[in-house]
Structure 1
Amino acid sequence: MYAVIKTGGKQYRVQEGDILRVEKLDAEAGKKVTFDDVLMVGEGESIKAGADAAKAKVTAVVTENGRGQKVVIFKKRRRKNYRLTQGHRQSFTSVRIEKIKE
């Protein structure tokens, strides 16, 4: 069985046992997290979407909190002696899907 959940402004297709990185959540490693915003749930021919899927819940366990690789932003205007370098590291939470409950 799989489900499509929405968290952090993105949608993810998940199954039990999957490990995925989502936008930073307010939970420490080892804590349980419940995703209530389920868009679709089902398997094969029996698929529920919309109001039927809104009743479903997906529970997960936080495995780690961290920060991704640095993204370098470099701006330059030629012949103007203008150079600007910035960096950004996005925070993430890694979760393992435990159970999909219809």
Structure 2
Amino acid sequence: MLAVVKIAGQQFKVKAGDSLYVPHIEGNDGDKVEFSEVLLTDNAGAISVGAGVKAVVKAEIIKSLIQGDKVIAFKMKRRKGFRKKHGHRTHYTQIKVTDIA
């Protein structure tokens, strides 16, 4: 069974057993989470979309906090002596989809 689920404002295509990185979710390692905002399901060719979808994606948090790659934002104006350097690392959570019900 395949599902498209909306997690923290982003859409992910998931199957049972998939492991993926999603934007940071509150919780600890081993916690169970459910995502009820399912946009599409495909069950052996039977596709349901929109309001007709009655599914819930169940997952388990594997690692609660993972930092992404460092991103540097550098601004400079020539001949003015203006330089500004900002950086950040986006936080992610690794989850494993256990069931689509």
The answer to whether TM tops 0.5 is yes
- Specify the code of the residue in structure 2 equivalent to 1:66: I
CA distance in 2, matches of 1:60, 1:16: 9
What displacement does 1:44 show? 4.7
Higher mean alpha-carbon deviation, 38-47 vs 80-89, is at: 38-47
Report the counterpart of residue 30 of structure 1 in structure 2. Answer: 30
Identity %: 38
Structure 2 unmatched ranges of 5 or more: none
Q: Where do 1:43-82 residues align within 5 Å?
A: 43-53=43-53, 55-64=54-63, 65-82=65-82
CA distance in 2, matches of 1:21, 1:11: 12
SS at 1:26 equivalent: coil
Structure number with the higher strand fraction is 2
CA distance in 2, matches of 1:44, 1:100: 13
Give the superposed CA RMSD.
1.0
Structure 1 unmatched ranges of 5 or more: none
Count of aligned pairs: 100
- Specify the code of the residue in structure 2 equivalent to 1:32: K
